[in-house]
Structure 1
């Protein structure tokens, strides 16, 4: 393994043609240059120079090293510049995996601020429902995972993952316009025992079943889809009603449906999941901070 200091000195000796000229260029003494070149020759195991009168001549090994030294030093300089840019948050890539309604609400707000203040940071968006998003984080397929969990059903988290709570997302009852209960500001789940229901993703469907069971009935689920727009269209068509997070309704609401707060209140927790080692990466920490800020602003709306 080469000492990079020795390699830079060797490159200067070759460029200037002598130890004394290299010493003047680098600000060293000539004996210091001589010692560095002897150390380099010991590390490669063969002589690099021979004397030719008062000058130096490269050996075959010296010529081989000279052909590569510039490229090696240029590559190291480029690497140092890029690492410095990452440390100063002038560059970096962060992969974020989130569920659809987070990608449509929290992500845009966070990315707009990030782009304005740190244009060199690039964010790659992936989409997955929990627990798949957290599993992708553990597999190294993303740097930050956004996931939601219902009371008693949060995603399982290994010890190497840090969980940062972002917000609590109130669930609402989605009703077609003209429904008798649509005139109320809040709707009791117990009053919906005779309704037909549209269920969402597996985790949301499980929560719906539990919420209704707590109120003493099993919902009549007539349709299941994880497409939020399809849920709203089905409700608008009178196929059934649904339990939908307020985060979804904040960016997409069918003209023929209305949302009413569910009683008792039902909330899902939205959190960010990051491998603890990744928190030391400046760009990852920055994106996490912006996501936290975007969630806090939405809670205050």
Structure 2
């Protein structure tokens, strides 16, 4: 293996054309330079310099290695600059995860400001369930995640810390002509006979199941719709009603109204999760997410 210091020495000797001048530039002794060059030539399998009456110059093997040395040293220099910028929070990649409704307004608003104040930070955004995001944080695949504790609590993950961002109240979305559209607040029991628009499958705990259980009933019919835009379309057509977090309120079309629920316990807490040793850019984004006006 050729050492980086040896490649740097090769470049300096080639530039100066002299072991003595290279030694002066690098604060080595002339004998130390001679020994290091000899060791490099042994590693390289043969001479790299022509020894001249006054100085040295690269031979064909030396010119070949010199070309590669310049490329390697340039890449290392660029890597050092990129790492320095990354650790100062001024640039580099930032991997950010969030659950779906946090990506409607909360996260994009903070990322817009981050782009303005840290233009060289490149964000890689990921959407997913809270438990998946926490696992990816623990694995080092994410630098920050916006997660929720509803309805089964915030999952723990090794090496991950969390901070509360905001409370996210649940509303019910109704078409404007619905019999309860004019109510100030709605008791879920009044909607027990409605079809419910919902996205989750399988045994995963859901906001809908928990809220209806609190109200003492099980939905008679659930229509599985994955995307929020489609849920809103079905609700506007009168095909069902849906629970909508306040984080998603900005995306609700005019054909629908949001009404509070009489059960004030139907809400969730939104957290920002970080690794134990977060990047400076991740800390900046955390502060922007927590800034007044970022929450619901």
TM over 0.5: yes
Alignment of 1:81-120 (within 5 A): 81-120=81-120
Tell me the residue number matched to 1:206.
206
Of 275, 283, 288, the residue aligned with 1:290 is 288
C-alpha distance in structure 1 between counterparts of 2:204 and 2:232, whole Å: 15
Of 27, 30, 37, the residue aligned with 1:33 is 30
Q: Residues 168 and 33 of structure 1: is their aligned pair in 2 closer, same or farther, counting only changes over 3 Å?
A: farther
Q: Residues 66 and 242 of structure 1: is their aligned pair in 2 closer, same or farther, counting only changes over 3 Å?
A: closer
Tell me the residue number matched to 2:220.
220
User: Which segments of 5 or more consecutive residues in structure 1 lack a partner in the other structure?
Assistant: none
TM-score, normalisation: structure 1: 0.81
Q: Is the 8 A contact 2:6 2:40 kept in 1?
A: no
Q: Residues 74 and 37 of structure 1: is their aligned pair in 2 closer, same or farther, counting only changes over 3 Å?
A: farther
Q: Residues 76 and 139 of structure 1: is their aligned pair in 2 closer, same or farther, counting only changes over 3 Å?
A: closer
Structure 1 residue 284: Cα displacement: 3.0
Q: Residues 49 and 228 of structure 1: is their aligned pair in 2 closer, same or farther, counting only changes over 3 Å?
A: closer
Q: Is the 8 A contact 2:91 2:122 kept in 1?
A: yes
Q: Residues 33 and 71 of structure 1: is their aligned pair in 2 closer, same or farther, counting only changes over 3 Å?
A: farther
Number of residues of Structure 1 aligned to a counterpart in Structure 2: 291
User: Which segments of 5 or more consecutive residues in structure 2 lack a partner in the other structure?
Assistant: none
Tell me the residue number matched to 1:246.
246
CA deviation digits over 1:34-59, x for unaligned, max 9?
Answer: 21331453466466557543433667
Q: Is the 8 A contact 1:93 1:283 kept in 2?
A: no
Structure 1 residue 12: Cα displacement: 1.9
Q: Residues 292 and 41 of structure 1: is their aligned pair in 2 closer, same or farther, counting only changes over 3 Å?
A: farther
Q: Is the 8 A contact 2:187 2:261 kept in 1?
A: yes
Structure 1 residue 220: Cα displacement: 1.9
C-alpha distance in structure 1 between counterparts of 2:273 and 2:197, whole Å: 29
C-alpha distance in structure 1 between counterparts of 2:82 and 2:200, whole Å: 42
SS in structure 1 at match of 2:216: coil
SS in structure 2 at match of 1:116: helix
Q: Residues 192 and 44 of structure 1: is their aligned pair in 2 closer, same or farther, counting only changes over 3 Å?
A: same
C-alpha distance in structure 1 between counterparts of 2:142 and 2:148, whole Å: 17
Structure 1 residue 65: Cα displacement: 4.0
C-alpha distance in structure 2 between counterparts of 1:65 and 1:236, whole Å: 70
CA deviation digits over 1:130-153, x for unaligned, max 9?
Answer: 3333344455544333232314x1
CA deviation digits over 1:51-88, x for unaligned, max 9?
Answer: 54343366787555434332332222222222222233
C-alpha distance in structure 1 between counterparts of 2:142 and 2:186, whole Å: 39
C-alpha distance in structure 1 between counterparts of 2:31 and 2:228, whole Å: 73
Q: Is the 8 A contact 1:10 1:37 kept in 2?
A: no
Q: Is the 8 A contact 2:2 2:40 kept in 1?
A: yes
C-alpha distance in structure 2 between counterparts of 1:180 and 1:50, whole Å: 95
SS in structure 2 at match of 1:223: strand
C-alpha distance in structure 2 between counterparts of 1:57 and 1:212, whole Å: 83
Q: Is the 8 A contact 1:225 1:231 kept in 2?
A: yes
Q: Which structure features the higher share of helix residues?
A: 1
TM-score, normalisation: structure 2: 0.82
